[in-house]
Structure 1
Amino acid sequence: MTPNIQTFINSFQNRLEPPVRQHLKNVYGTLMMTCGAASVGVYIDMFTRFQAGFLSTIIGAGLMLMLIATADNGKNTKQRLGYLLGFGLTSGMSMGPLLNYVSFVDPAIIVTALMGTTLVFVCFSIASMLADRGSWLFLGGTLMTLLTSILVIQDSSGLCYAHIYLGLLLMCGFVLYDTQLIIEKRRMGNQDFVQHALELFIDFIGIFRRLVIILTQKEEQERRRKRD
């Protein structure tokens, strides 16, 4: 093992206690399962005749609310995990129409956006873990203010591009904030890795969706320039 890799591993071990490290393993393992469920949802919507459309969004919201409303008691993990995977599945299905359109523009955009999302998510997660304890928790108020601003901005206002880029910045900020918040919650005894995986999944999907839109818009603009 090279010295740089060993130093990197030692940094995690020094900053994160064994229970926290184990909790994060559970969180990210569950997150990967949820992303897998979302991929299945995308496939179902794009390549089968079963297209739930807006219904999948409503069902997904219901599953998320059921997960949040069902408190972790140590015995209902499978039930709550089922809610989470169902939410992941319906989230993928709700993205099907967008990705189907993008596949007609340039299928490579989907792969590029997925790789970019993974890279951004991993980098911001590691930065949050290696930062000083609680150093990113101050972002909470700012992020909620930005979220409120995004909700009131309408596409018809001519601020569509600002809306998308602001949303991307917001999601990156939430990765920093949510990661440190999850660590602090575990230190205070909260072992609800399913709920924590839900929070990070929402961040991941938020980044991916906005990168897809940004890359698609750039590709369409480039094609219009070539035609002109």
Structure 2
Amino acid sequence: MDAFTSFFDSQSASASRNSWGSDSLKNFRQISPIVQTHLKQVYLSLCCALIASAVGAYLHILWNIGGLLTSIGCMGSIFWLLSTPPYEEQKRVSLLMAAAVFEGASIGPLIELAVNFDPSILVSAFVGSAIAFGCFSAAAMLAKRREYLYLGGLLSSGLSILFWLHFASSIFGGSAAIFKFELYFGLLVFVGYMVVDTQDIIEKAHHGDLDYVKHALTLFTDFVAVFVRILIIMLKNASEKEDKKKKRRN
């Protein structure tokens, strides 16, 4: 946790030094026109994937299709996309949209729960995720090149911790404290991935890797991971407040 704290401290310190002024703009100018065009394609594809994911969630609400099969379909579409050569652009874009629809249907039960409980929670969670994504992506773009890439190994270790915690909880049973730790620690990890993956995409583009479909998929998985955790946290807090109100009435 100290490492993550130092990461955000260093980020805020860097922001205070540059004050989003001339130094930040100079860093942004280090991104070549080709890379800027690539980033536009990446974020446009990401927006389309998010729309497709919303369609998948809506389909679940209509027909209750979300579950194990849609999760398998999402993973299958992702593996198919990654194994398809880059020159088959149209096919890969279609696979990205298919993966997004399946992912939206897979998290459909959670979204349906939020809609039934309080639709404003769903809107707040999405807006909060979008703001966090925009801010941390901008921070990664305005920072010095490769400044945050060293965090990749640390975040991978954090992801491994989450995996083994989840695995142990599924076998030996979990507790509310472990679940809460997984939730907040996972949110911190994937917010970190937003920064690292954005800088990694920029760095790869500078070296000629202009695979915008794969890069959009990377950012899409980051966004969904953050959105799901924010939504669960907000639902949990709202449910606890509702329970307290009921106890007071009784």
Q: Mark yes or no: TM-score above 0.5.
A: yes
The code of the aligned residue for 2:138 comes to I
Question: TM-score, normalization: structure 1?
Answer: 0.92
Inter-partner Cα distance in structure 2 for 1:109 and 1:50? 21
Match of 2:215 among 191, 196, 205: 196
Question: TM-score, normalization: structure 2?
Answer: 0.84
Report how many aligned residue pairs link the two structures: 222
1:55 alignment counterpart: 69
1:183 alignment counterpart: 202
Q: Deviations over 1:51-70 (max 9, x none)?
A: 24221110110000001111
Match of 2:84 among 50, 70, 74: 70
Tell me by how many angstroms 1:71 deviates.
2.7
The code of the aligned residue for 1:157 comes to G
1:80 aligns with 2:92: yes
Q: Percent identity between the aligned chains?
A: 33
Tell me by how many angstroms 1:5 deviates.
9.7
- The RMSD of aligned alpha carbons is 1.8
Tell me by how many angstroms 1:50 deviates.
5.2
Match of 2:54 among 24, 39, 42: 39
Tell me by how many angstroms 1:10 deviates.
4.2
The code of the aligned residue for 2:105 comes to M
Tell me by how many angstroms 1:147 deviates.
0.3
Note closer, same or farther for the CA distance 1:13–1:135 as it changes in structure 2 (3 Å cut).
Answer: closer
1:227 alignment counterpart: 246
The 3-state SS of whatever aligns with 1:153 is helix
Match of 1:101 among 113, 116, 119: 113
1:137 aligns with 2:152: no
The 3-state SS of whatever aligns with 2:107 is helix
The code of the aligned residue for 1:121 comes to F
Inter-partner Cα distance in structure 1 for 2:64 and 2:149? 42
1:153 aligns with 2:165: yes
Inter-partner Cα distance in structure 1 for 2:135 and 2:20? 15
Inter-partner Cα distance in structure 1 for 2:66 and 2:174? 30
Q: What 5-or-longer segments of structure 1 have no aligned partner?
A: none
1:215 aligns with 2:234: yes
- Indicate if the aligned counterparts of 1:41 and 1:90 stay in contact, CA closer than 8 A: yes
1:27 alignment counterpart: 42
- Indicate if the aligned counterparts of 2:114 and 2:122 stay in contact, CA closer than 8 A: yes
Inter-partner Cα distance in structure 2 for 1:78 and 1:40? 20
Structure 1 residue ranges (4+ consecutive) displaced by more than 3 angstroms after TM superposition: 4-13
The code of the aligned residue for 2:148 comes to W
The 3-state SS of whatever aligns with 1:157 is coil
- Indicate if the aligned counterparts of 1:15 and 1:130 stay in contact, CA closer than 8 A: no
2:136 alignment counterpart: 124
Tell me by how many angstroms 1:123 deviates.
0.2
